[in-house]
Amino acid sequence: MKTRISQLVDGELEASSAGELIAQACRPGEAADTWCVYHLIGDALRGARPMPADFAERIASRIAQEPTVLAPGRIAPSPRAWFPMAVAASLAAVALVGWVAFGPLREPAMAPQAKVESVPVPEAIAAAVPIPPEANDYLLAHQAYSPRVSLQGMAPYVRSVASER
Amino acid sequence: MSAEALAPARAVVLCAAVWAAAAQAQSEDALALMRRIHDATQKLSYRGTFVYQHGARSETSRITRFVDPDGDIERVEVLDGVPRELVRTRDVVRCYLPESRVVKIERRTSDRSFPALLPERVGALARHYNIVLGETSRIAGYDCRAVLLSPRDNLRYGYRLYADAKSGMLLKAVTVDAAGQRIEQFTFTQLAIGGVTREMVRARHAATKWRIEDAEASPARLDGWSLSAELPGFRKVVELRRRMGDAKPVGQLVYSDGLAAVSVFIEPAEARQSLGAGASGSGALHVYSRLIENFRVTVVGEAPAASVQRIANAVEYRRPQ
């Protein structure tokens, strides 16, 4: 997370993945602290004078005094709707069992393509090779966890039991 | 603090408000239709025939859904080629393959961890898709309205969904690529809503003495395995260990943007008759497989080949400390 916040501070994070991180940094916690620390480091490196300690509070109170802008809000799910998800997430977390012995005997020499995020997506590579029937097990296993089933029922499953492709 | 100093902050607030207003105006009716499709999918009993097309191929299947207070049951029978049948009860999917006399069993680990698209989360899809109402058209005798989901980037596909205006039942689903070209399509050619009995969704095969391949999936932490960079918009929704075929345990991580999903399978390379390394694809599904030391990583997803490959290349293993 720290790496990503550093990228965000430096303006190197893609806009699409920045939103979630900004939301995190807006709440008190490790992300918010990291955000402040990186800015402080940046200011120190640039030789900027530190802001007064209550700078953020004063800005917040000035904004609070601004006239209210009457505009439709973003479509946000109600807190009630999220609550069961949070409970589910915590229950699921309890159910998790570590599976430590599952990995290569030695660590791969280097993480392949650590900079994947900044690589532009090439034009869709023409998949000239049809999916072989040996992959059916993978397709079936994947299909069971596709949210698409919520809109379409079992129909998409026919893709995972194809007899020939 | 001067008023000028606050101008940038005001501009940001204004931009956010304008963006939010635009997002809302473009999609409120369309989101309502999406929710109706979702409700119809959960609540209706129906029986019909649909055609699945991708490339020059097409395959006809029959689908029957029975809704009951004790839980719904759904059955799909592929009518072309080798007979295949799928029956889903509440959280178990059984796949009957009569030629090889095998039943494959997939269980949702629990409803809680199932990454369903919930009605209250349909709105969140607007982050990744531009969602608008489309044309009206008649499909299998039903007057349908389309909802169009155009991706906001080239990491995912677009969708055109056609639903019965009266019931919300989905009659046609088309997956399109960035150029708007059709990649695959499901279309009902005949559909009757209601009038389904329990008998109609019973598996045709008794399957006694068939080999049973049970996935036995259970939530697990795959310590050490992760993505060096996630694909923007795709979040991890499921992490589990499971069986596949009759091979050794396989790890599965599922990433989703709320509609499209990509699975990462991790297994010892010698565990099975392995799939060759590299890319393959059929319709909207793509597969990419590679080795990390003595482990095979296979990524399967309903996403463009480049997205699937990008996730596969981002998979890494770091020994847990």
Could you give the 3-state DSSP secondary structure of residue B154?
Answer: coil
Lowest-pLDDT range of A48-52, A117-121, B143-147, B308-312:
A117-121
pLDDT of B185? 96
Return the pLDDT at B244.
87
Helix, strand or coil, per DSSP, at residue A9: helix
Asked whether the beta carbons of B318 and A107 are under 8 A apart, the reply is yes
Token look-up 């799928």 returns: B86
Chain A residues near residue B93 by CB distance under 8 angstroms: 144, 154, 157
Residue A29 neighbours by CB under 8 Å, 6+ apart: none
Measured between CA atoms, the residue of chain A closest to residue B117 is A147
- Check residues A55 and B221 and name the one with the higher pLDDT: B221
For A31, list phi and psi in degrees, rounded to 5.
-65, -45
Quote the CA–CA distance of A145 and B262 in Å, as a whole number.
9
Q: What is the mean pLDDT of residues B2-26?
A: 54
Return the residue in B263, B309, B311, B315 with the most chain A beta carbons within 10 A, the one to mutate for interface testing: B263
So what's the pLDDT on residue B116? 66
CA dihedral B39, B42, B48, B49 (to 10 degrees): 90
- What is the per-residue pLDDT across B282-306, written as a single tens digit (0 to 9) for each? 999 999 999 998 899 999 999 999 9
**Band (B124; pLDDT cuts 50, 70, 90):** confident
The predicted structure's pLDDT at residue B102 = 93
B280–A131 CB contact, under 8 Å: yes
Does B316 contact A63 at a Cβ distance shorter than 8 Å? no
Q: Mind listing the pLDDT tens digit for each residue in B139-156?
A: 999 999 999 999 999 999
Instruction: Please tell me which of A123-127, B64-68, B275-279 the model is most confident about, judged by mean pLDDT.
Output: B64-68
pLDDT, mean over chain B: 87
pLDDT, residue A116, reads 41
- Rounded to an integer, the average pLDDT of B162-187 is 95
The full length of chain B comes to: 321
B-chain residues within 8 Å CB-CB of A138?
Answer: 244, 263, 265, 275, 287, 298, 300
State yes or no: ipTM above 0.90: no
Q: Which of the pair, A84 or B212, is modelled with greater confidence?
A: B212
| Of B272 and A104, more confident | A104
Quote the CA–CA distance of B171 and B140 in Å, as a whole number. 8
- What number is the average pLDDT over the span A94-98? 55
pLDDT level of residue B193 (50, 70, 90 thresholds): very high
Backbone angles phi, psi at A164, to 5 degrees: -150, 155
pLDDT at residue A30, rounded to an integer: 82
Mean pLDDT of B38-42: 92
The better pLDDT of the pair B187, A10 is held by B187
How far is CA B186 from each of CA A74, B53, B131, B139, B159, rounded to the nearest angstrom? 33, 7, 20, 12, 11
Higher pLDDT, B111 or B228: B228
Ranges of H-type helices in B119-225: none
In contact, B301 and B308? CB cutoff 8 Å: yes
Q: Which of A17-21, A124-128, B146-150 has the lowest mean pLDDT?
A: A124-128
For residue A121, the model assigns a pLDDT of 46
pLDDT number for residue B176: 96
Q: Which residues in chain A (31-50) have CB-CB distances under 8 A to chain B?
A: none
Mean pLDDT of B77-99: 92
A interface mutation test: which of B42, B149, B280, B298 has the most A CBs within 10 A?
B280
Quote the CA–CA distance of B181 and A123 in Å, as a whole number: 14
Model pLDDT, residue B56: 87
Q: What is the pLDDT of residue A46?
A: 66
Residue bearing the bigger pLDDT, B242 or A7: B242
Q: How confident is the model at residue A120 (pLDDT cuts 50, 70, 90)?
A: very low
Location of structure tokens 């991180």: A21
CA distances from B145 to A15, A38, B139, B160, B280 (A): 33, 51, 10, 10, 34
Across chain A, what does the average pLDDT equal?
68
Q: How far apart are CA A105 and CA B319, in angstroms?
A: 9
* Window from A49-53, B128-132, B141-145 with minimum mean pLDDT: A49-53
pLDDT for B105: 93
